Protein backbone atom coordinates (compact mmCIF):
# COMPACT_ATOMS: atom_id res chain seq x y z
CA UNK A 1 0.00 0.00 0.00
CA UNK A 2 1.32 3.45 -0.99
CA UNK A 3 1.80 5.77 1.98
CA UNK A 4 0.46 9.32 1.68
CA UNK A 5 3.00 12.15 1.75
CA UNK A 6 1.85 15.06 3.90
CA UNK A 7 1.91 18.81 3.47
CA UNK A 8 4.58 20.83 5.24
CA UNK A 9 2.96 23.67 7.20
CA UNK A 10 4.33 25.68 10.14
CA UNK A 11 7.19 23.24 10.62
CA UNK A 12 4.91 20.19 10.80
CA UNK A 13 3.92 17.42 8.39
CA UNK A 14 0.13 17.55 8.22
CA UNK A 15 -2.76 16.00 6.31
CA UNK A 16 -5.24 18.05 4.32
CA UNK A 17 -8.54 19.20 5.75
CA UNK A 18 -10.27 17.37 2.87
CA UNK A 19 -8.99 13.94 3.88
CA UNK A 20 -8.52 13.26 0.17
CA UNK A 21 -5.36 12.27 -1.68
CA UNK A 22 -4.21 11.87 -5.27
CA UNK A 23 -1.76 9.46 -6.85
CA UNK A 24 1.23 10.19 -9.07
CA UNK A 25 2.00 7.45 -11.57
CA UNK A 26 5.24 6.62 -13.33
CA UNK A 27 4.92 8.05 -16.86
CA UNK A 28 7.14 5.25 -18.16
CA UNK A 29 4.76 2.69 -16.69
CA UNK A 30 1.27 3.95 -15.91
CA UNK A 31 0.54 0.81 -13.90
CA UNK A 32 3.04 1.89 -11.22
CA UNK A 33 1.98 4.36 -8.53
CA UNK A 34 5.04 6.28 -7.38
CA UNK A 35 3.59 8.38 -4.55
CA UNK A 36 0.38 9.63 -2.97
CA UNK A 37 -0.14 13.28 -1.98
CA UNK A 38 -2.62 15.49 -0.17
CA UNK A 39 -5.54 16.82 -2.23
CA UNK A 40 -5.62 20.13 -0.39
CA UNK A 41 -8.13 22.96 -0.63
CA UNK A 42 -8.26 26.71 -0.10
CA UNK A 43 -8.54 26.32 3.68
CA UNK A 44 -5.29 24.36 3.78
CA UNK A 45 -3.70 27.08 1.66
CA UNK A 46 -4.99 29.84 3.94
CA UNK A 47 -3.54 28.10 7.01
CA UNK A 48 -0.17 27.92 5.26
CA UNK A 49 -0.28 31.62 4.37
CA UNK A 50 -1.11 32.48 7.98
CA UNK A 51 1.89 30.49 9.20
CA UNK A 52 4.15 32.26 6.72
CA UNK A 53 2.84 35.67 7.73
CA UNK A 54 3.38 34.98 11.43
CA UNK A 55 6.98 33.92 10.83
CA UNK A 56 7.87 36.82 8.56
CA UNK A 57 9.14 39.38 11.05
CA UNK A 58 11.38 36.93 12.83
CA UNK A 59 12.88 35.59 9.59
CA UNK A 60 13.33 39.09 8.18
CA UNK A 61 15.32 40.04 11.25
CA UNK A 62 17.50 36.94 11.10
CA UNK A 63 20.99 38.06 9.98
CA UNK A 64 21.77 37.35 6.35
CA UNK A 65 24.77 35.14 7.13
CA UNK A 66 22.57 32.97 9.36
CA UNK A 67 19.97 32.65 6.63
CA UNK A 68 22.80 31.71 4.30
CA UNK A 69 24.07 29.07 6.71
CA UNK A 70 20.67 27.35 6.66
CA UNK A 71 20.53 27.45 2.85
CA UNK A 72 24.04 26.04 2.63
CA UNK A 73 23.21 23.23 5.00
CA UNK A 74 20.04 22.45 3.05
CA UNK A 75 22.10 22.19 -0.11
CA UNK A 76 24.43 19.78 1.64
CA UNK A 77 21.48 17.66 2.81
CA UNK A 78 20.25 17.50 -0.80
CA UNK A 79 23.73 16.57 -1.99
CA UNK A 80 23.84 13.67 0.47
CA UNK A 81 20.50 12.45 -0.93
CA UNK A 82 21.32 13.00 -4.60
CA UNK A 83 20.92 9.38 -5.68
CA UNK A 84 17.47 9.01 -4.13
CA UNK A 85 16.31 12.40 -5.40
CA UNK A 86 17.44 11.51 -8.91
CA UNK A 87 15.49 8.27 -8.77
CA UNK A 88 12.35 10.05 -7.59
CA UNK A 89 12.66 12.59 -10.39
CA UNK A 90 12.99 9.83 -13.00
CA UNK A 91 9.99 8.00 -11.55
CA UNK A 92 7.65 11.00 -11.23
CA UNK A 93 8.59 13.18 -14.20
CA UNK A 94 10.17 10.67 -16.61
CA UNK A 95 13.50 12.33 -17.42
CA UNK A 96 16.47 10.20 -18.32
CA UNK A 97 18.76 9.38 -15.41
CA UNK A 98 21.51 11.69 -16.70
CA UNK A 99 19.08 14.60 -17.13
CA UNK A 100 17.56 14.02 -13.70
CA UNK A 101 20.94 13.84 -11.99
CA UNK A 102 21.96 17.08 -13.67
CA UNK A 103 18.80 18.79 -12.49
CA UNK A 104 19.28 17.63 -8.90
CA UNK A 105 22.85 18.92 -8.97
CA UNK A 106 21.60 22.25 -10.27
CA UNK A 107 19.25 22.55 -7.28
CA UNK A 108 22.14 21.82 -4.93
CA UNK A 109 24.26 24.46 -6.66
CA UNK A 110 21.44 27.00 -6.46
CA UNK A 111 21.15 26.61 -2.69
CA UNK A 112 24.89 26.96 -2.25
CA UNK A 113 25.00 30.01 -4.56
CA UNK A 114 22.24 31.90 -2.77
CA UNK A 115 23.66 30.87 0.59
CA UNK A 116 26.68 33.00 -0.26
CA UNK A 117 24.50 35.79 -1.65
CA UNK A 118 22.52 36.02 1.59
CA UNK A 119 25.55 37.51 3.33
CA UNK A 120 26.03 40.13 0.59
CA UNK A 121 22.56 41.67 0.71
CA UNK A 122 22.91 45.27 1.70
CA UNK A 123 22.67 48.54 -0.18
CA UNK A 124 24.69 51.43 -1.51
CA UNK A 125 26.06 54.64 0.03
CA UNK A 126 25.60 57.85 -1.95
CA UNK A 127 26.96 61.34 -1.48
CA UNK A 128 24.47 63.70 0.18
CA UNK A 129 23.88 67.25 -1.02
CA UNK A 130 23.61 68.37 2.60
CA UNK A 131 26.27 68.50 5.29
CA UNK A 132 26.41 66.04 8.18
CA UNK A 133 24.13 63.59 6.40
CA UNK A 134 24.71 59.99 5.45
CA UNK A 135 22.63 58.91 2.46
CA UNK A 136 22.30 55.24 1.71
CA UNK A 137 19.93 52.47 0.65
CA UNK A 138 18.96 49.19 2.26
CA UNK A 139 17.26 46.15 0.74
CA UNK A 140 14.38 44.68 2.71
CA UNK A 141 12.25 41.62 1.93
CA UNK A 142 8.93 41.98 0.14
CA UNK A 143 7.13 39.85 2.75
CA UNK A 144 5.29 36.59 2.06
CA UNK A 145 6.12 35.12 -1.35
CA UNK A 146 3.73 32.72 -3.09
CA UNK A 147 5.52 30.35 -5.47
CA UNK A 148 3.70 28.24 -8.04
CA UNK A 149 5.97 25.84 -9.91
CA UNK A 150 5.63 23.50 -12.92
CA UNK A 151 6.28 19.79 -13.35
CA UNK A 152 8.96 19.83 -16.06
CA UNK A 153 11.81 20.86 -13.72
CA UNK A 154 10.35 19.68 -10.41
CA UNK A 155 13.40 20.38 -8.26
CA UNK A 156 15.38 23.04 -10.17
CA UNK A 157 12.56 25.56 -10.59
CA UNK A 158 11.33 25.35 -6.98
CA UNK A 159 14.97 25.79 -5.93
CA UNK A 160 15.62 28.83 -8.08
CA UNK A 161 12.50 30.55 -6.79
CA UNK A 162 12.76 29.43 -3.17
CA UNK A 163 16.47 29.98 -2.47
CA UNK A 164 16.56 33.71 -3.35
CA UNK A 165 13.24 34.30 -1.59
CA UNK A 166 14.59 32.83 1.64
CA UNK A 167 18.02 34.43 1.22
CA UNK A 168 16.36 37.84 1.01
CA UNK A 169 14.37 37.27 4.20
CA UNK A 170 10.94 36.41 2.82
CA UNK A 171 8.71 33.69 4.18
CA UNK A 172 7.23 31.40 1.53
CA UNK A 173 4.21 29.36 0.53
CA UNK A 174 4.84 26.93 -2.31
CA UNK A 175 2.45 24.97 -4.52
CA UNK A 176 4.19 22.45 -6.78
CA UNK A 177 2.52 21.02 -9.87
CA UNK A 178 0.40 17.99 -9.02
CA UNK A 179 1.98 15.87 -11.77
CA UNK A 180 5.34 15.71 -9.96
CA UNK A 181 5.24 17.35 -6.51
CA UNK A 182 7.58 15.05 -4.60
CA UNK A 183 10.83 16.94 -5.07
CA UNK A 184 9.40 20.17 -3.61
CA UNK A 185 8.52 18.29 -0.43
CA UNK A 186 12.04 16.83 -0.36
CA UNK A 187 13.39 20.39 -0.46
CA UNK A 188 11.14 21.28 2.48
CA UNK A 189 12.47 18.31 4.41
CA UNK A 190 16.07 19.33 3.68
CA UNK A 191 15.43 22.89 4.89
CA UNK A 192 13.68 21.55 7.98
CA UNK A 193 16.73 19.41 8.76
CA UNK A 194 18.96 22.42 8.17
CA UNK A 195 17.15 24.36 10.91
CA UNK A 196 14.75 26.59 9.01
CA UNK A 197 12.35 28.08 11.60
CA UNK A 198 8.76 26.87 11.62
CA UNK A 199 6.43 28.72 9.26
CA UNK A 200 9.11 30.26 7.06
CA UNK A 201 8.44 27.67 4.34
CA UNK A 202 5.10 25.96 3.77
CA UNK A 203 4.40 23.47 0.96
CA UNK A 204 0.83 22.53 0.07
CA UNK A 205 -0.12 20.10 -2.71
CA UNK A 206 -3.39 20.18 -4.60
CA UNK A 207 -5.20 21.84 -7.50
CA UNK A 208 -4.33 25.32 -8.68
CA UNK A 209 -7.95 26.46 -8.65
CA UNK A 210 -8.01 25.88 -4.88
CA UNK A 211 -4.48 26.13 -3.49
CA UNK A 212 -2.93 28.39 -6.10
CA UNK A 213 -5.81 30.85 -6.20
CA UNK A 214 -5.80 31.20 -2.41
CA UNK A 215 -2.05 31.82 -2.40
CA UNK A 216 -2.44 34.49 -5.07
CA UNK A 217 -5.47 36.29 -3.66
CA UNK A 218 -4.89 35.98 0.08
CA UNK A 219 -4.34 39.46 1.54
CA UNK A 220 -1.29 38.28 3.49
CA UNK A 221 0.79 37.34 0.43
CA UNK A 222 2.88 40.12 -1.06
CA UNK A 223 4.53 38.63 -4.16
CA UNK A 224 3.66 35.89 -6.65
CA UNK A 225 6.12 33.99 -8.82
CA UNK A 226 4.67 31.60 -11.41
CA UNK A 227 6.20 29.37 -14.07
CA UNK A 228 3.95 27.50 -16.48
CA UNK A 229 1.94 27.87 -19.66
CA UNK A 230 1.24 31.27 -21.17
CA UNK A 231 -2.51 30.77 -20.93
CA UNK A 232 -2.48 29.97 -17.21
CA UNK A 233 0.22 32.55 -16.62
CA UNK A 234 -1.97 35.34 -17.95
CA UNK A 235 -4.72 34.32 -15.53
CA UNK A 236 -2.24 34.27 -12.65
CA UNK A 237 -0.89 37.68 -13.66
CA UNK A 238 -4.40 39.16 -13.79
CA UNK A 239 -5.31 37.64 -10.41
CA UNK A 240 -2.12 38.84 -8.76
CA UNK A 241 -2.17 42.37 -10.14
CA UNK A 242 -5.85 42.76 -9.33
CA UNK A 243 -4.96 41.81 -5.76
CA UNK A 244 -2.14 44.38 -5.71
CA UNK A 245 0.75 41.89 -5.61
CA UNK A 246 4.23 42.12 -7.03
CA UNK A 247 4.29 39.44 -9.75
CA UNK A 248 6.66 37.67 -12.12
CA UNK A 249 5.65 35.01 -14.64
CA UNK A 250 7.91 32.85 -16.80
CA UNK A 251 5.88 31.17 -19.50
CA UNK A 252 6.04 29.31 -22.81
CA UNK A 253 8.32 29.44 -25.80
CA UNK A 254 8.53 28.69 -29.51
CA UNK A 255 12.27 28.72 -29.66
CA UNK A 256 14.21 28.92 -32.93
CA UNK A 257 17.67 27.82 -33.93
CA UNK A 258 18.80 29.64 -37.07
CA UNK A 259 21.24 27.59 -39.14
CA UNK A 260 23.08 29.82 -41.62
CA UNK A 261 24.71 28.85 -44.88
CA UNK A 262 28.15 29.01 -43.26
CA UNK A 263 27.32 26.38 -40.62
CA UNK A 264 28.46 22.77 -40.66
CA UNK A 265 25.22 20.78 -41.27
CA UNK A 266 26.17 17.85 -39.06
CA UNK A 267 27.24 20.04 -36.15
CA UNK A 268 24.11 22.15 -36.51
CA UNK A 269 21.86 19.07 -36.58
CA UNK A 270 23.42 17.81 -33.37
CA UNK A 271 22.85 21.19 -31.64
CA UNK A 272 19.23 21.32 -32.81
CA UNK A 273 18.51 17.70 -31.87
CA UNK A 274 20.00 18.10 -28.41
CA UNK A 275 17.98 21.25 -27.82
CA UNK A 276 14.75 19.85 -29.25
CA UNK A 277 14.73 16.22 -28.14
CA UNK A 278 16.51 16.60 -24.78
CA UNK A 279 14.15 16.33 -21.80
CA UNK A 280 11.69 14.83 -24.32
CA UNK A 281 11.10 18.35 -25.62
CA UNK A 282 9.44 19.27 -22.33
CA UNK A 283 11.42 22.44 -21.67
CA UNK A 284 10.15 25.97 -22.12
CA UNK A 285 13.49 26.68 -23.83
CA UNK A 286 13.44 23.58 -26.10
CA UNK A 287 14.21 24.13 -29.78
CA UNK A 288 10.95 23.82 -31.67
CA UNK A 289 11.94 25.43 -34.98
CA UNK A 290 15.08 24.93 -37.06
CA UNK A 291 15.28 27.79 -39.56
CA UNK A 292 17.77 26.64 -42.16
CA UNK A 293 19.48 28.34 -45.11
CA UNK A 294 18.62 26.62 -48.40
CA UNK A 295 22.33 26.24 -49.21
CA UNK A 296 22.72 23.50 -46.58
CA UNK A 297 19.08 22.56 -45.99
CA UNK A 298 19.13 19.07 -47.48
CA UNK A 299 22.35 18.01 -45.73
CA UNK A 300 21.05 19.40 -42.43
CA UNK A 301 17.73 17.55 -42.73
CA UNK A 302 19.49 14.26 -43.50
CA UNK A 303 21.72 14.65 -40.45
CA UNK A 304 18.78 15.65 -38.21
CA UNK A 305 16.74 12.62 -39.32
CA UNK A 306 19.69 10.34 -38.59
CA UNK A 307 20.02 11.84 -35.12
CA UNK A 308 16.29 11.51 -34.42
CA UNK A 309 16.17 7.90 -35.52
CA UNK A 310 19.24 6.98 -33.45
CA UNK A 311 17.76 8.10 -30.11
CA UNK A 312 17.21 5.28 -27.63
CA UNK A 313 13.66 5.61 -26.27
CA UNK A 314 12.40 3.98 -23.09
CA UNK A 315 12.16 4.37 -19.30
CA UNK A 316 14.47 7.15 -18.17
CA UNK A 317 16.28 4.90 -15.74
CA UNK A 318 18.28 3.31 -18.57
CA UNK A 319 17.43 5.04 -21.86
CA UNK A 320 18.47 8.25 -23.61
CA UNK A 321 14.97 9.74 -23.93
CA UNK A 322 12.12 9.07 -21.54
CA UNK A 323 8.35 9.48 -21.82
CA UNK A 324 6.16 12.52 -21.76
CA UNK A 325 4.95 13.24 -18.28
CA UNK A 326 1.29 12.25 -18.72
CA UNK A 327 -1.29 10.86 -21.11
CA UNK A 328 -2.59 14.40 -21.67
CA UNK A 329 0.84 15.68 -22.68
CA UNK A 330 1.43 12.72 -25.00
CA UNK A 331 -1.98 13.12 -26.61
CA UNK A 332 -1.45 16.86 -27.09
CA UNK A 333 1.83 16.20 -28.92
CA UNK A 334 0.25 13.53 -31.13
CA UNK A 335 -2.60 15.91 -31.94
CA UNK A 336 -0.13 18.59 -33.08
CA UNK A 337 1.59 16.00 -35.26
CA UNK A 338 -1.75 15.21 -36.94
CA UNK A 339 -2.45 18.92 -37.40
CA UNK A 340 0.93 19.46 -39.06
CA UNK A 341 0.27 16.65 -41.53
CA UNK A 342 -3.19 18.04 -42.30
CA UNK A 343 -1.69 21.49 -42.95
CA UNK A 344 0.73 20.06 -45.49
CA UNK A 345 4.01 19.65 -43.60
CA UNK A 346 6.08 16.59 -44.52
CA UNK A 347 6.59 14.05 -41.75
CA UNK A 348 10.27 13.19 -42.23
CA UNK A 349 10.93 11.16 -39.05
CA UNK A 350 8.99 9.76 -36.11
CA UNK A 351 5.47 10.98 -35.61
CA UNK A 352 4.06 8.07 -33.68
CA UNK A 353 4.24 5.94 -30.58
CA UNK A 354 7.22 3.55 -30.41
CA UNK A 355 6.76 -0.22 -30.29
CA UNK A 356 8.09 -2.68 -27.72
CA UNK A 357 7.31 -4.12 -24.34
CA UNK A 358 9.56 -1.60 -22.54
CA UNK A 359 7.35 1.29 -23.69
CA UNK A 360 3.97 -0.44 -23.87
CA UNK A 361 2.53 1.12 -20.70
CA UNK A 362 4.19 4.52 -20.87
CA UNK A 363 3.53 7.88 -22.49
CA UNK A 364 6.17 7.73 -25.21
CA UNK A 365 6.36 9.67 -28.47
CA UNK A 366 9.01 9.16 -31.15
CA UNK A 367 11.43 12.02 -31.84
CA UNK A 368 9.69 13.76 -34.72
CA UNK A 369 10.98 15.91 -37.60
CA UNK A 370 8.81 17.90 -40.01
CA UNK A 371 10.06 19.48 -43.22
CA UNK A 372 8.35 21.73 -45.77
CA UNK A 373 6.98 23.75 -42.87
CA UNK A 374 5.58 27.20 -43.54
CA UNK A 375 6.19 29.68 -40.74
CA UNK A 376 2.45 30.45 -40.52
CA UNK A 377 1.46 26.84 -39.82
CA UNK A 378 0.23 26.06 -36.31
CA UNK A 379 3.15 23.64 -35.83
CA UNK A 380 5.45 26.67 -36.35
CA UNK A 381 3.46 29.12 -34.24
CA UNK A 382 2.09 27.28 -31.20
CA UNK A 383 4.02 25.70 -28.35
CA UNK A 384 4.27 21.92 -28.73
CA UNK A 385 5.57 20.59 -25.43
CA UNK A 386 7.06 17.41 -26.83
CA UNK A 387 9.89 16.02 -29.01
CA UNK A 388 8.89 17.71 -32.28
CA UNK A 389 11.15 19.87 -34.47
CA UNK A 390 9.89 21.80 -37.50
CA UNK A 391 12.41 22.62 -40.21
CA UNK A 392 11.71 25.86 -42.06
CA UNK A 393 13.78 26.57 -45.18
CA UNK A 394 14.80 30.18 -45.90
CA UNK A 395 16.72 31.90 -48.69
CA UNK A 396 19.06 34.05 -46.63
CA UNK A 397 19.96 35.37 -43.18
CA UNK A 398 17.52 38.28 -43.35
CA UNK A 399 14.69 35.87 -44.04
CA UNK A 400 15.82 33.69 -41.14
CA UNK A 401 15.66 36.60 -38.69
CA UNK A 402 12.17 37.50 -39.91
CA UNK A 403 10.93 33.94 -39.41
CA UNK A 404 12.64 33.58 -36.03
CA UNK A 405 10.85 36.67 -34.70
CA UNK A 406 7.50 35.92 -36.33
CA UNK A 407 5.91 34.29 -33.27
CA UNK A 408 4.15 35.53 -30.15
CA UNK A 409 6.88 34.11 -27.90
CA UNK A 410 10.42 35.28 -27.18
CA UNK A 411 12.14 33.09 -24.62
CA UNK A 412 15.30 31.49 -26.05
CA UNK A 413 16.90 31.63 -29.50
CA UNK A 414 20.16 30.40 -30.96
CA UNK A 415 22.15 30.69 -34.17
CA UNK A 416 24.65 28.24 -35.67
CA UNK A 417 27.11 30.09 -37.87
CA UNK A 418 30.77 30.54 -38.72
CA UNK A 419 30.20 34.22 -39.50
CA UNK A 420 31.09 36.76 -36.82
CA UNK A 421 28.84 39.29 -38.54
CA UNK A 422 25.82 36.94 -38.54
CA UNK A 423 26.39 36.01 -34.92
CA UNK A 424 26.40 39.63 -33.79
CA UNK A 425 23.47 40.60 -35.96
CA UNK A 426 21.50 37.72 -34.43
CA UNK A 427 22.38 38.88 -30.92
CA UNK A 428 21.17 42.37 -31.82
CA UNK A 429 18.02 41.43 -33.73
CA UNK A 430 16.61 38.26 -32.14
CA UNK A 431 13.50 38.98 -30.04
CA UNK A 432 14.37 36.70 -27.13
CA UNK A 433 15.40 37.03 -23.52
CA UNK A 434 18.12 34.38 -23.94
CA UNK A 435 20.30 34.42 -27.07
CA UNK A 436 22.98 31.85 -27.82
CA UNK A 437 25.64 31.47 -30.49
CA UNK A 438 26.62 27.96 -31.62
CA UNK A 439 24.79 26.43 -28.66
CA UNK A 440 21.49 24.66 -28.06
CA UNK A 441 18.53 26.76 -26.91
CA UNK A 442 18.28 24.85 -23.63
CA UNK A 443 20.60 25.09 -20.63
CA UNK A 444 20.98 28.07 -18.30
CA UNK A 445 23.68 29.40 -16.01
CA UNK A 446 22.36 30.02 -12.49
CA UNK A 447 24.14 33.33 -11.86
CA UNK A 448 22.77 35.35 -14.79
CA UNK A 449 19.23 36.64 -15.45
CA UNK A 450 16.63 34.40 -17.09
CA UNK A 451 13.38 35.53 -18.66
CA UNK A 452 11.60 36.09 -21.95
CA UNK A 453 10.02 38.69 -24.19
CA UNK A 454 6.45 38.95 -25.46
CA UNK A 455 4.14 36.12 -24.28
CA UNK A 456 7.07 34.24 -22.74
CA UNK A 457 7.11 36.45 -19.67
CA UNK A 458 5.31 39.17 -17.79
CA UNK A 459 8.47 41.21 -18.57
CA UNK A 460 8.41 42.50 -15.02
CA UNK A 461 11.24 40.75 -13.16
CA UNK A 462 13.93 38.25 -14.18
CA UNK A 463 14.84 35.09 -12.30
CA UNK A 464 18.23 33.77 -11.15
CA UNK A 465 21.41 35.58 -10.19
CA UNK A 466 21.20 39.06 -8.72
CA UNK A 467 18.00 39.64 -10.69
CA UNK A 468 16.39 36.78 -8.80
CA UNK A 469 17.10 38.60 -5.55
CA UNK A 470 15.73 41.86 -6.92
CA UNK A 471 12.23 40.42 -7.21
CA UNK A 472 12.17 39.45 -3.55
CA UNK A 473 13.49 42.76 -2.16
CA UNK A 474 12.43 46.40 -1.93
CA UNK A 475 14.89 49.25 -1.61
CA UNK A 476 14.57 51.61 1.33
CA UNK A 477 16.41 54.94 1.13
CA UNK A 478 17.81 56.36 4.39
CA UNK A 479 18.70 60.00 5.13
CA UNK A 480 20.69 60.01 8.37
CA UNK A 481 21.61 63.49 9.68
CA UNK A 482 24.00 63.83 12.60
pLDDT band for position 85 (50/70/90)? Answer: very high
Inform me whether the pLDDT recorded for 200 exceeds 60. Answer: yes
Choose, from 121, 284, 301, 337, the residue flagged as catalytic. Answer: 284
pLDDT at residue 11 is higher than 90:
yes
Residue-averaged pLDDT of the chain: 97
452 pLDDT above the threshold of 90? yes
Please give the residue that has the higher pLDDT: either 358 or 399: 399
Instruction: Give the residue extent of every domain in the chain.
Output: 4-251+458-481, 255-437
- Residue 1: the pLDDT is 53
**Global pTM exceeds 0.85:** yes
Choice between 193 and 122, residue whose per-residue pLDDT is larger:
193
Q: What is the DSSP string of 145-197?
A: EEEE--SSSTTHHHHHHHHHHHHTT-EEEEE--TTS-HHHHHHHHHHHHHTPP
pLDDT band at 4 (very low <50, low <70, confident <90, very high): confident
pLDDT digits (tens, 9 = 90+) for 373-401: 999 999 999 999 999 999 999 999 999 99
CB within 8 Å of 145: residues ≥ 6 apart: 161, 165, 170, 171, 172, 173, 221, 222, 223, 224, 225, 472
284 is catalytic: yes
Q: What is the mean pLDDT of residues 241-270?
A: 97
Q: What is the spatial distance between Cα 164 and Cα 110, in angstroms, rounded to a whole number?
A: 9
* CATH topology identical between 4-251+458-481 and 255-437: no
The CATH classification number of 255-437 equals: 3.40.309.10
- Over residues 465-482, the mean pLDDT reads 95
pLDDT above 90 as % of the chain: 98
Q: What are the pLDDT digits (tens) for 216-225? A: 999 999 999 9
Share of the chain above pLDDT 70, in %: 100
Q: How confident is the model at residue 52 (pLDDT cuts 50, 70, 90)?
A: very high
Q: Computed from CA positions of residues 233, 426, 462, 439, in that sequence, does the dihedral angle turn out positive or negative?
A: positive
> Where does 4-251+458-481 sit in CATH, by number?
3.40.605.10
| Mean local confidence (pLDDT), 35-61 | 98
Q: Summarize pLDDT for 207-216 with one digit per residue, the tens.
A: 999 999 999 9
Average pLDDT over residues 139-155: 97
Task: Give the separation between CA 404 and CA 380, rounded to whole angstroms.
Answer: 10
Largest Cα–Cα distance of the chain, in whole Å? 81
List all residues 6 or more positions away from 152 whose beta carbon is below 8 Å from its beta carbon: 93, 279, 282, 283, 284, 325, 385
Amino acid sequence: MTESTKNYVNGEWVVSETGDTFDVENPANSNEIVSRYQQSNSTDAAVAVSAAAESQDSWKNTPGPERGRILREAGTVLANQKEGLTGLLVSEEGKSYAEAAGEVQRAIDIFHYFAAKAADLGGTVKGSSGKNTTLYTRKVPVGVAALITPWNYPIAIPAWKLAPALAAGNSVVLKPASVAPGLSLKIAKALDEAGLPAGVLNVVTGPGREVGSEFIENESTDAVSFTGSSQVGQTVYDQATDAGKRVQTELGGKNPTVVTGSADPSKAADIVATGGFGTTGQSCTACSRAIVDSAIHDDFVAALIDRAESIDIGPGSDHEMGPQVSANERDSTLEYIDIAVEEGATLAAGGGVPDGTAVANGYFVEPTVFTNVDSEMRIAQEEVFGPVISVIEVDDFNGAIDVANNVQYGLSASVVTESHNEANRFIDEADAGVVKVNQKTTGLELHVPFGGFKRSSSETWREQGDSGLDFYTIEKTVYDSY
